Amino acid sequence: MDSFSSSPSSGSNSQFQSEQLKNQLKAQLAQAYIEQFMETISTKCFDKCITKPGSSMSGSESSCISRCVDRYIEATGIITSTLFSSPH
Amino acid sequence: MDPSQVQSAEFAQFLAQEEQRAKVGEMVIKITNVCWDKCITSTPGSKFSSSESSCLSNCARRYMDMSLLIVKRVQNMQ
């Protein structure tokens, strides 16, 4: 109770601004990460699945893309857990 | 202590932490990128074979080993 009444209004306001800035920064970093990740997946899966671009996307190409995206995400998971588990 | 000083120190710590987090994220993206090319040579199936997933783990560990070696090698040149 005492800490609430003694905290100056200007202090809590700037603290609020700082929290806002932090959240904004985190959101932008997350956005940049996702964009980079999507860009890599697109490059990899295009190489794997669209070997001879036809006049339209075939069913086998689009199912290859689905599998490729799933596997790429899985590969990212395998590598993340390998790097952050015990060495060797 | 001046409250703005406390805040800027805390904010600097926050930035350093986020920078570290971003670097780790970049590293995972980079290693996945190169290890995918090394290990996934056929068209992606509905699940990884055991040789593909162990190749990915080995590849990630060897990439880290290599990075260390390169740092040491370059340091020795200076």
CATH number of the domain encompassing residue A55: 1.10.287.810
Closest CB from A40, A64, A74 relative to B48: A74
All residues at 6 or more sequence positions from B63 whose CB lies less than 8 Å from its CB, including other chains: B31, B34, B35
Give the model confidence (pLDDT) of A6-61 as tens digits: 444 445 677 778 888 899 999 999 999 999 999 999 999 999 999 999 999 999 99
Number of other residues whose CB lies within 10 A of the CB of residue B16: 10
Q: What's the pLDDT at A19? A: 85
Token pair for residue A22? 């932090």
Whole domain around residue A81: which residue ranges? 8-85
- Does residue A62 lie in a domain region? yes
- Does residue A3 lie in a domain region? no
Token pair for residue A26? 């985190």
Say if residue A44 is exposed, middle or buried (CB neighbours under 10 Å; 0-12, 13-18, 19+). buried
- Does residue A30 lie in a domain region? yes
- Does residue A2 lie in a domain region? no
Give A45's contacts in chain B (Cβ within 8 Å): 44
Work out how many domains chain A is built from and give that number: 1
CB–CB contact A78 B57 (8 Å) = yes
